[in-house]
Amino acid sequence: MNFLGLITILVGVEVSLFLIVNRQRRCFPWLITEEDESPSFDPHALKKFIDSSFDPHLGWVRRPNSSGIEKGQKGPITFHIDSLGSRINSFEKSPPVIAAFGDSYAFCRQVEDDETWEAQLAQQEGFGVLNFGVGNYGVDQALLRYEAMTLPDTVRVIVMGFVPETICRVQSYWKHYLEFGNTFAFKPRFILDPEGKLVLLENLVRSAEDFAGYQEKLSAIREADGFYESKFRFQQFRFPYIVSLMRNPLRQGMLICAVAVRGAFRALGLSSHRTENIPFTLVMKNNLCDAYKLYSDSKATKLLSEILLRFNGEARRRGHLPLVVVIPQLLDLKLNKNKFAPYQRYFSELDENIPVLDLTGKFMNEAYEKLYINDQYGGHLSIDGNRLVAEEIRTWLDSNTNQQY
């Protein structure tokens, strides 16, 4: 093959990649290009976000005295938020003794108000359980929410519930760099100073005006975000696209093929829940593998440990009993079937300093498929899964407290 022929082939491949990626990007935001460096915001979607859930300090939160409907696997799911900002359940007929904070596995996506583990725990124990979980929260945001709240005097126990992937979320300053396309999700984050102490970086986007001019803050955001260089730029397609592909050929090639397969099923009229989820399931698996690697990174685990130690100290100072509850996603179990998950050793060692209830082993020993709703977000808990969490927390309380509630 002569030099001209080689150049012709390379140009053809480059043009083909450019066309394929930019076409697929329109229907799947996890394929990113240079256009995603500073994306434009849809004004109507942004207004809806600001009106419904934006918080200048935490990034986002459920509004008190609000309600909503989200798409469930078998139909619409409704949720209701009370005046405190807690998800309502009909079993709260006694003063609250437990307050739960955390992510969507604390909020309990995909089930109704009375089917959350907080509601089922309240039903089992006969006392109130407050639910302050928020979808997509890192434990850093959950901690800051707890620290800012004035809770009823009857609260004695604080549960911090989250998925193992939180080790990624606490390093994120703009979720777009971690979860491509999640462009409204600016948040605060902690970093460690040279002495290993926590320093809070406040959310830089704190108003509608800040959203409008966020590009002016991008330099500071990129410098403080743990994923701009290591993930966003590493997985971004930019000229030459061939080099972008070769930086991570397995991930990029599989994702392009997955989106193409999904498109083919759509074109043939054979689209289903399973085929629609093929690309995003691949993304979720890659994300969890990235999280597992961080549990072997001393800087990442140090940051997470300091955040959880601060939670422990704050709870003790306020006269609350802290409990960290680690809830595996369905994909966590599938990726680590019949073996020790990479994060389990970390939480086992953390239990020496903070009360930790890691439910991975318990879920692994069950017929775990029935414990989850197999959604595209890694598998949220079903009614049965939430019941198991409630039972395990109840057992832990019986074994670790002398107080009669």
* CATH number of the domain that residue 47 is part of: 3.40.50.1110
Q: Tell me, yes or no, whether 228 and 143 share the same domain.
A: yes
For residue 40, give the DSSP letter.
P
pLDDT confidence of residue 1: 62
Q: What is the DSSP string of 79-139?
A: EEB-TTSPBP-TT--S-EEEEEEESHHHHTTTS-GGGSHHHHHHHHHSSEEEEEE-TT--H
147 located within any domain: yes
Q: Tell me, yes or no, whether 21 and 140 share the same domain.
A: no
36 located within any domain: no
Cα separations (Å) of 212 from 60, 83, 209?
Answer: 17, 31, 5
34 located within any domain: no
Distance between CA atoms of 58 and 187, rounded to whole angstroms? 6
pLDDT confidence of residue 261: 95
Element (H, E) at 76: strand 75-80
Domain hosting 13: range is 3-28
pLDDT per residue, tens digit, the chain (405 aa), is 688 888 888 899 999 999 999 999 999 999 999 999 999 999 999 999 999 999 999 999 999 999 999 888 778 999 999 999 999 999 878 999 999 999 999 999 999 999 999 999 999 999 999 999 999 999 999 999 999 999 999 999 999 999 999 999 999 999 999 999 999 999 999 999 999 999 999 999 999 999 999 999 999 999 999 999 999 999 999 999 999 999 999 999 999 999 999 999 999 999 988 899 899 999 999 999 999 999 999 999 999 999 999 999 999 999 999 999 999 999 999 999 888 999 999 999 999 999 999 999 999 988 999 999 977 666 899 999 999 999 999 999 999 876 544
- The SS3 assignment for 387 reads helix
Cα separations (Å) of 137 from 33, 105, 129, 304, 403?
Answer: 26, 10, 20, 14, 31
Contact 99, 78 (CB under 8 A): no
Q: Tell me, yes or no, whether 182 and 219 share the same domain.
A: yes
For residue 351, give the DSSP letter.
T
Q: Tell me, yes or no, whether 12 and 90 share the same domain.
A: no
Residue type, 130: L
| 240: preceding bond cis by omega (within 30 degrees) | yes
* Token pair listed for 322: 């802290």
pLDDT confidence of residue 378: 66
In Å, how far from its chain's centre is CA 57?
18
Q: Tell me, yes or no, whether 244 and 390 share the same domain.
A: yes
Distance between CA atoms of 247 and 227, rounded to whole angstroms? 16
Contact 323, 350 (CB under 8 A): no
Q: How many CB atoms lie within 10 A of CB 188?
A: 18
What length is written for the chain? Answer: 405
* Token pair listed for 138: 């890192």
Q: Tell me, yes or no, whether 134 and 178 share the same domain.
A: yes
* Token pair listed for 145: 């929410």
Q: What is the tally of structural domains in the chain?
A: 2
Q: Tell me, yes or no, whether 137 and 275 share the same domain.
A: yes
Q: Tell me, yes or no, whether 58 and 13 share the same domain.
A: no
Q: Tell me, yes or no, whether 278 and 324 share the same domain.
A: yes
Of 130, 168, 158, 136, the C-alpha closest to 59 is 136
35 located within any domain: no
Q: Tell me, yes or no, whether 330 and 243 share the same domain.
A: yes
pTM of the model: 0.95
33 located within any domain: no
Q: How many CB atoms lie within 10 A of CB 321?
A: 17
Cα separations (Å) of 204 from 138, 175, 180, 207?
Answer: 17, 13, 19, 9
Q: What are phi and psi of 184, to 5 degrees?
A: -85, -10
Q: Tell me, yes or no, whether 339 and 272 share the same domain.
A: yes
The greatest distance separating any two alpha carbons of the chain, rounded to the nearest whole angstrom, comes to 84
90 located within any domain: yes
Q: Tell me, yes or no, whether 166 and 23 share the same domain.
A: no
Distance between CA atoms of 87 and 66, rounded to whole angstroms? 9
Sign of CA dihedral 246, 250, 253, 259: negative
Helices (H), ranges, 160-233: 166-169, 208-212, 218-224
37 located within any domain: no
Query: Position of tokens 């407050």?
Result: 130
